[in-house]
Structures are given as C-alpha cells and as structure tokens.
A and B are shown apart, each in its own frame.
Chain A
Amino acid sequence: AQSVTQLGSHVSVSEGALVLLRCNYSSSVPPYLFWYVQYPNQGLQLLLKYTTGATLVKGINGFEAEFKKSETSFHLTKPSAHMSDAAEYFCAVTMRTPMDTGRRALTFGSGTRLQVQP
C-alpha cells in the first residue's frame, strides 16, 4: 500500500518569497511521484513528475522538486512566489506498472493551499 503526507494544509508566503511545500510518501517499491496544482473550479494540472533518472525535476511555472529516497520526500519549491501561484497543490504517487495492468491509480495527499500575500 502507498500513502502520501503533505505537511501543512495552508501555507502563506509573501510575493517574491521562497515557496516550499512538503510531501512525504510511503511505498513498498519506488514509485512515480507527481505534483499537481488546482485552481478554483478547475481540474488538476500537472506541474512536474519524477519517474527515473535525475532526482531534481523541473516543472512548469518555475517550480521544481527533488526526490530524496533516503528521506522518502518529494518537496516542491519555487524561488520566488507570484500572486498567480495562489492555488491548491497536491502531491501524488503511483506504482511503476505497465499501462494495461490497471494499477495506475494515483494516491493523493490531502493538499496544501498556498496563499501569496502582496
């Protein structure tokens, strides 16, 4: 079984400040890891993913995340927050399985709502 823990249901930062959203996972085998963002009344948009290779992954809108196996973490960062970053962010994990096995279900964390203060 796999699980995802996101520390902090609400995070508030000032515009221009560093954004750090925390995600820890639990999985019996190395998983694939994702960060999604959700704006009000919209679906989920993929920010970035870790599948294999380089442990520091870059995504859209200036976000990046680092996979740390020893810490079972996949924290999301952005050097300088912008007002448009205000949204809810979800960390998700899934098993490394072939597409037709029916085991692509994402397990999500509970989400972190990011507020950006002017």
Chain B
Amino acid sequence: KAGVTQTPRYLIKTRGQQVTLSCSPISGHRSVSWYQQTPGQGLQFLFEYFSETQRNKGNFPGRFSGRQFSNSRSEMNVSTLELGDSALYLCASSWGTYNEQFFGPGTRLTVL
C-alpha cells in the first residue's frame, strides 16, 4: 500500500498570503489529522477529520481551516499568513481500533 502523501513538499509564501496544503491518506483510512511542527512549540494538533466532518480541533486561530473529501483526501488552508506560521505541517491517517496514526513526509512552509 502506498503511504500518506502530501503536496507540495515545500512552499515559500509572503505575509498576508494564503496557502492550501493537500494530503492523501493511505487507501482505506478514513481518519485524517493535521499537526504543526515548529522548533519552539514542537508537535501540535491542528484538527481531525472523519467521514468529511471535522471531529476535533486544536488550539489554533480561525485562520487555520481544513476539509475532507468523500475519498478521504484532505486539505488544510491557512489565510493571512504570518511569519510564525512557518513550520512543517504533517498529515496523518488512521484506521482501526488502536488510534495508530501513519504520517506523511510533511509540507515545509516558509513565510517571508
């Protein structure tokens, strides 16, 4: 089975712009979660989707949003980018009883 894929792998944006990141989960996985990783804050949960519905959200401002499509693919959007949004954004997919999550390679976002 193919793993979790994320596109693009690298992005450079300027402050005030908006960005959309994409995640394709492992085939058959219906739960997709997003995490932000920064040197200062570590790994932080952004949101979780299951069957096209956002089921849980972390403590991030409303500029961060996401969605999930019927084929379980997910996108996250960040509007009005700030310098502090520079981070590695990781997507993880999950299926089964034990909450085991499988991560993609991440999208490295740099905001200038």
Contacts and interface: CB of A to CB of B under 8 A. Distances in A.
A113 B98 CA distance: 26
A41 B105 CA distance: 8
Interface in A48-65: 49, 51
Contact of B50 (A46, A102, A110): A102
Interface string B71-102: 00000000000000000001010111111111
Contacts of A26: none
Contacts of B100: 34, 46, 49
Interface string B3-46: 01010000000000000000000000011010100000011010
Contacts of A102: 48, 50, 53-56
Nearest to A107: B45
Contacts of B55: 100-103
B106 A99 contact: no
**Contact residues on A (Cβ < 8 Å of other chain), bracket:** 20 to 34
B90 A104 contact: no
A5 interface: no
Interface string A78-95: 000000000000100011
Interface string B44-64: 010010110111101000000
Contacts of A100: 50-51, 55
A46 B43 contact: no
Interface in A21-41: 32, 34, 36, 41
Contacts of B48: 102, 104-105
Given A102-B50, A110-B42, A43 B99 contact: no
Contacts of B103: 36, 43-45
Contact of A97 (B45, B58, B99, B105): B99
Given A43-B4, A46-B102, 5 more contacts: A46-B100, A99-B97, A100-B51, A106-B35, A109-B42
4 A-B pairs with the lowest CB-CB distances in the bound complex, closest first: A102-B55, A43-B103, A108-B43, A102-B56
Interface of A: 32, 34, 36, 41-46, 49, 51, 90, 94-97, 99-111
